[in-house]
Structure formats: C-alpha cells, structure tokens
C-alpha cells in the first residue's frame, strides 16, 4: 500500500477516536463528560442542555450539534424521564469506561515523564 493509498483510506474512514474528537467543541464536550465521572453517582441529577451550556460556556448550537454524536458513541446517555431530555455520563458503557482508562493511563504516563524534570 502506498502512502497516497494509506492517506486516502485514512481520510475516507476516520477512526472512532478521530470521529469522537473531530472538533475542538466536541473535544470539550467529551472531556466535560469524562470529568463528570469523578463525582457522578446514582444520586446525581442528569443535566439539561442549558445546564451543560452554563457549566461549559459552550455555544448552544455546538452543544446541540455534538450531543447526538456522544450519545451514538456511548459516552453520554439520554434520560427521557423529564419534560426535556437530560444527559449524563454513560458510566455503564464499554466505550465510556475505555475512554476513562485511556485518560488515566495517559495521565500516569505524562506524570512519569514530567516528574523526572
């Protein structure tokens, strides 16, 4: 396979991580839900879109556009028990837990590399 073929294949079919982290706004939203895992428990209230916008400072359109992708990828779960949809980290999903694992592994590696300085 030539470099041109590899590049073309890569551009046609982005990896799931590339798709998940496709834009800075989506990255911010993913990171927000990963951080929620640190304090999320069964008593935590799911968040409205307005809650997410208020806490993250993101533009309304960005939150509305990117939440469906996070749901599709297993990072966020929709709670429809309320008048308006609410969102929470999908802490039971394999993709969510894999992202937490990767975040922890990379964080430990980064700390090891910078503790020697």
Element (H, E) at 76: strand 76-79
**CATH number for the domain harbouring residue 50:** 1.10.10.10
What average pLDDT does range 63-68 have in this prediction?
96
The whole domain housing 92 covers 3-115
Q: 74-98: per-residue pLDDT in tens?
A: 999 999 888 889 999 999 999 999 9
- Is 4 or 109 the better-scoring residue by pLDDT? 109
The upper half-sphere exposure of residue 40, i.e. CA atoms within 13 Å in the direction of its Cβ, equals 17
Count structural domains, the chain.
Answer: 1
Q: 1-47: per-residue pLDDT in tens?
A: 566 655 565 566 778 888 889 999 999 999 999 999 889 988 999 99
- What is this structure's pTM? 0.81
């Amino acid at each position: 396979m030539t470099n041109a073929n590899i590049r073309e294949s890569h551009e046609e079919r982005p990896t799931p991580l590339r798709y998940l982290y496709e834009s800075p706004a989506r990255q911010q939203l993913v990171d927000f839900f990963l951080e929620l895992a640190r304090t999320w428990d069964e008593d935590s209230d799911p968040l409205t879109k307005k809650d997410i916008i208020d806490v993250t400072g993101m533009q309304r359109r960005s939150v509305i556009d990117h939440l469906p992708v996070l749901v599709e990828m297993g990072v966020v779960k929709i709670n429809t028990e309320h008048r308006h949809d609410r969102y929470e980290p999908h802490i039971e999903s394999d993709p969510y837990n894999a992202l937490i694992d990767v975040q922890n592994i990379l964080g430990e590696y980064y700390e090891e590399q910078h503790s020697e300085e």
